[in-house]
Amino acid sequence: MKIENCIAPRYSNNHPRPGYFYSGWGSNDKSFYDKETLEDHKSKINAILNNSGNGELGKVLYVGKGSNVPRHKVKIFVEENKIRKTSIIEHSDTVFFDKKTINDVYKWLKCKEVKVAIVPFAQELLNSITMINGLANQTNYLKFYTDSFNKKSNLIIYYDEFNNYPLNFQQALGRLDWKDLYEQDAYRTKNIEDIFNTLLNYFKNPHGNIIWDDTILEKFNSDGIDLDDDYISTLDSMFSSGEPDNVRLAIEMMSNVNLEKFGLTIALLLNKHKNSMNWGNGNTGSQAYKTLDRYFKNKGINWKYDFRVFSAGLYKNYSHNEEAKKTIEYFVLGNINDYLSENGFRLDGGYLQIDNFKVSLHSKK
């Protein structure tokens, strides 16, 4: 259940000085679940995450909350394949989902177990707070409580806090109906709530025909640009120029590359020029950037990180191809040798370099 416009009264017990009610948090929404409901939601969302995400295109497609594929590419794809789109997910037989977004919803459902009672903010309770704060000569918070009363807020009373309240406030609360629930913060979470509600509607018709965004993006770009040395050199030069217009154009050009064939090359270029795409420099607002960033994130390729984390993602995704594996090993070797050649690691003008080695991916223990 979602409790809208609620506050949790907080009491400062400052012995030997008189205590008073302060604001804590307020005018927020909170969601509470019983254990069975919460586990049901998590189980169903986990089933989506365990889906291969490589479904077959059906007759009725839903693309909305929960997917980040470029809508202009969806429009072209729908027209070319002569399929119908729907805005009602439970009427679909095919769904595009962004795996990272669905995983974010799952994490959001990791709630804190609490024992609470939920009561209306009655006049008697406001009178009690007003009297207690007046005796403590703390009138700063009375406007907050008065405004909350006028807004007909609900009070969230936490069992752990109850015994800290003054006796007359406890008496004003009356007999409380304590419930063991799981609390979820709903402050500034509208976007993730919208996606969660979309999933709840999907569960009315959980057909399981799911296609992950990164999978469909490869299909969208299957007839995209094939890279050659000249094209790669052009992209590299555009990034190296540092000119914002050139950087943004390079990102746009890369978003139209055949990612299934040249994903490794694009990832290496992004990593090489990651400083050109730091937050706040104006180069990260385009749909092209968001598409590429999300595509690699969904594959576990953290291109913004240093070579250790970045290379592990590359190896996991591309090492099945022998040529790609050699490229990744060369990239790792180059970064290690750069590290070894730094001034702090030199001795009498010489330094250690590695000529060749083998790379393998190990699981965390």
Q: Quick one: what percent of the chain has pLDDT higher than 90?
A: 74
pLDDT classification of 129: cutoffs 50, 70, 90? very high
Lowest mean pLDDT among 79-93, 135-149, 267-281, 347-361: 347-361
pLDDT at 43 over 70: yes
pLDDT at 15 over 70: no
pLDDT at 25 over 70: no
Quick one: three-class SS letters along the chain?
A: CEEEEEECCEEECCCCCCCEEECCCCCEEEEEECHHHHHHHHHHHHHHHCCCCECCCCCEEECCCCCCCCHHHHHHHHHHHCCEECCCHHHCCEEEECHHHHHHHHHHCCCEEEEEEEEECCHHHHHHHHHHHHHCCCCCCHHHHHHHHHCCCEEEEEHHHHCCCCHHHHHHHCCCCCEEEEEEECCCCHHHHHHHHHHHHHCCCCCCCEEEHHHHHHHHCCCCECCCHHHHHHHHHHHHHCCHHHHHHHHHHHCCECHHHHHHHHHHHHHHCHHHHCCCCCCCCCHHHHHHHHHHHHCCCCCCCCHHHHHHHHHHHHCCCHHHHHHHHHHHHHHHHHHHCCHHHCECCECCCCCCCCCCCCCCC
The pLDDT of 156-177, averaged and rounded, is: 94
pLDDT of residue 26: 53
pLDDT classification of 365: cutoffs 50, 70, 90? low
pLDDT classification of 361: cutoffs 50, 70, 90? confident
pLDDT of 263-302, one tens digit each?
999 999 999 999 998 877 778 889 899 999 999 999 999 9
The pLDDT of 98-122, averaged and rounded, is: 94
pLDDT of residue 340: 87
Q: Quick one: what percent of the chain has pLDDT higher than 70?
A: 97
Mean pLDDT (the chain) is 91
pLDDT of 194-233, one tens digit each?
999 999 999 999 999 999 999 999 999 988 899 999 999 9
